Structure 1
Amino acid sequence: MKTVYNFSAGPAVLPKPVLEKVQEEMLDYEGTGMSVMELSHRSGAFQEIIDGAEALLRGLLRIPDDFHVLFMQGGASLQFSMIPLNLLGPGQTADYIVTGSWSKKAVKEAEKVGEVRTHLPNSQHSIPQFSRDDFSKDARYVHITSNNTIEGTRFSGYPDTGEIPLIADMSSHILSEELDVSKFGLIYAGAQKNLGPSGVTVAIIRKDLVGRAPEHCPALLDYETYVKHGSLFNTPPTFAIYVLKLVLKWVKENGGLEGMEARNREKAELLYSAIDQSGLFHNPVSPENRSLMNIPFSVEKDEVNARFLKEAKEAGFEFLKGHRSVGGMRASIYNAMPLQGVKELVDFMKNFERELSEGGS
């Protein structure tokens, strides 16, 4: 089989040992004679899977006891609606720090429910520090997208919101570095970057924020529904939760968050250094706000970007094309991307630049 390196922003690369375990258990999960895809979500076998996934996640993130862990569907996009429906009533205000495309979409959904005050940094390439005085006095919550997949930025330090609950979309960098969950009221993440395959969404919500939805809120948009039914009110994405559990086990076996962060910083430093030392490639993000997960880069001429992408794909580097709103290239180097993949990409970039220079193009 051809060796490729998958730099997709999501659905993204999965750890090879996880895929091999899935392959091994595809037809018979732990002696049941059935695939996980065939197991009833009411069965004891699946209950062990979902309980095990929660236990692993709690251990890795050191989630305090006063938080619920929920497994849902709909991705981060559904959370954009669920959050205001549960926590923001008519005439009430929420503050949103808008640092990229996804936080803009979150604002649009919140504005359908209540009042939204937005905070817009002066540049899409940097994120300033925020303190309690920056936010509305009566804000119900403050929302951030802590890592911007498209723009390649991240918060270097989380806002001090005082008594206001801080809510974070961590879809593209959860489990990539150490994290103090207690500083947040709600953390949510689509699984398809660092947690597992697409189809399942994780929410980590402080218990006092549950049960606030109005009576007219649909059951599947009410966090309390998932709490009361252990995320099993309806059929959950069973296979995705199973793979998520395997990914969490892989993270634990490979040093937990400390191990992931060390490797991720090594990979990111290698690629950023190559870009910064290059006379061809450029990354626009302020160094203090550079993402460890999503690294955009480009050259000045569109035709050279196109040539690079074509030759990179032929060499086995997949999904390097930048988001259509940004252009250029983007390398997403999530937990499962091996260091060797980044090393080979850097070598390819250097060879491309040298050949371009020698060719006089």
Structure 2
Amino acid sequence: MSKRAYNFNAGPAALPLEVLQKAQEELVEYRGIGMSIMEISHRSSQYEELNAETQQLLKELFAIPDGYKVMFMQGGASTQFATIPMNFLKSGQTAGYVLTGAWADKALKEAKLFGETKIVASSEADKFTRIPDLSGLQLDPNLAYLHITSNETIEGSQYQAYPGTGSIPLIGDMSSDILCRPVDVSKFAMIYAGAQKNLGPSGVTVVIMREDLLADSPKHIATMLRYDTHAKNDSLYNTPPVYSVYMVNLVLKWIKENGGLTAMEKRNREKTDLIYQAIDGSGGFYRGVIEPGSRSIMNITFRMQNEELEKKFAKESEQHGFVGLKGHRSVGGLRASTYNAVPYEACKALAEFMADFQRRNG
């Protein structure tokens, strides 16, 4: 096999090699049925079995308590930004948002199209270099829900602990950090995530929802944009993204075989520590963007003395087999996305390249 690149792309992102090999092995014929998984009917017993198994695997790995529904939807997290207020923001209520960066801001902008919103906490004044302290949060009882973005992919910040919201439903966008560590799902009324960072390829969006939220789905919105449509039909109301769900299934099995979420967190911390140590030990040659207490174990953002040096770093890194280290176009700088499937060896190689680049350019 040709040498695989060190893939630090922010999404679509690295997939485990074992998962890709299994998918390759089953691509033409899935489990002896004479067809590819991409060719079978979503009404077939084979797909229904895969659909149920994938939901069950997610419940098991993420320790999802009873009383929650797992749904596979389409349209990415960006569609959820609008679907959430459409379903849950009723007249006379306000939707609460914590503003932590670009993705939280996008979610807020969509909600504003449907009703009253309120920024409950924000780190915008600090240029989104930290997650706001929510430990003493006092919430208006009239809030329809509180929305947070668990991990800001662009800025590189991540919640270290989630707020208690009492009777106010907590909704979390976990697109870029779902399954990177154990989470107390019972704190949330809803968790959602586009698959293309930690769960599989793009095309499917996972929604985990407390069942009581489904009881009062508004009847005036489009059928496909109502959560109860997908819940009642077990995510089979229309043709699902069959291949994406299949890939999520393989990724979940890979996580399970590799020790589950406790092992994933340990591994993620060990590998990201290598890169953070390269930044912190560089004497200012590299500068971390995010305050240490809010640093992400999924997206590591850093800067250098000037943009010319950053461009040189990005160009040379590509020549050494590293992919995706340029920062997001909206903020510049450099970023290494270290999702579950990015191996320790890739992070070690990056830390060594960073030290070598500093020796030659410092």
TM-score band, normalised by the shorter chain?
over 0.9
1:261 to 257, 261, 265: 265
Partner of 2:184: 180
Quote the Cα distance in structure 1 between the aligned partners of 2:137 and 2:273: 34
Partner of 1:106: 107
Contact 1:94 1:141 in 2 (8 A): yes
Partner of 1:345: 350
The alignment status of 1:325 with 2:326, answered yes or no, reads: no
1:282 to 284, 287, 308: 287
1:244 to 236, 243, 248: 248
Provide, for residues 33-63 of structure 1, a one-character-per-residue CA deviation record: whole Å limited to 9, x for no partner. 1111101101111111111101100000111
Provide, for residues 169-224 of structure 1, a one-character-per-residue CA deviation record: whole Å limited to 9, x for no partner. 00000000011100100000000000000000000000000133322110111000
The alignment status of 1:146 with 2:150, answered yes or no, reads: yes
Quote the Cα distance in structure 2 between the aligned partners of 1:131 and 1:265: 24
Partner of 1:157: 161
Contact 1:132 1:162 in 2 (8 A): no
Contact 2:100 2:132 in 1 (8 A): no
Quote the Cα distance in structure 2 between the aligned partners of 1:154 and 1:133: 18
Partner of 1:195: 199
Partner of 2:300: 295
State the Cα distance separating 1:3 from its structure 2 match: 2.8
Within-5 A mapping of 1:1-361:
1-118=2-119, 119-121=121-123, 122-123=125-126, 124-131=128-135, 133-279=137-283, 280-357=285-362
What is the SS of the residue equivalent to 1:68?
strand
Provide, for residues 69-120 of structure 1, a one-character-per-residue CA deviation record: whole Å limited to 9, x for no partner. 0000011001001111111023311110010101111111111111100122
Contact 1:89 1:113 in 2 (8 A): no
Please tell me the residue identity of whatever aligns with 2:240: P
- Tell me which moved more, 88-97 or 197-206: 88-97
- Tell me which moved more, 333-342 or 274-283: 274-283
Root mean square deviation, CA, Å = 1.0
Please tell me the residue identity of whatever aligns with 2:37: V
Percent sequence identity is 53
Quote the Cα distance in structure 2 between the aligned partners of 1:328 and 1:136: 38
Quote the Cα distance in structure 2 between the aligned partners of 1:153 and 1:4: 26
Provide, for residues 207-263 of structure 1, a one-character-per-residue CA deviation record: whole Å limited to 9, x for no partner. 000133322110111000001101000001000000000000000000000110000
TM-score between the two structures when normalised by the length of structure 2: 0.97
Quote the Cα distance in structure 2 between the aligned partners of 1:342 and 1:194: 17
- Tell me which moved more, 272-281 or 207-216: 207-216
Gaps of at least 5 residues in structure 2 are none
Contact 1:129 1:157 in 2 (8 A): no
Quote the Cα distance in structure 2 between the aligned partners of 1:301 and 1:258: 39
TM-score between the two structures when normalised by the length of structure 1: 0.97
- Tell me which moved more, 276-285 or 220-229: 276-285
Gaps of at least 5 residues in structure 1 are none
Contact 1:147 1:172 in 2 (8 A): yes
Counting matched residue pairs gives 357
Please tell me the residue identity of whatever aligns with 1:22: A
What is the SS of the residue equivalent to 2:83?
helix
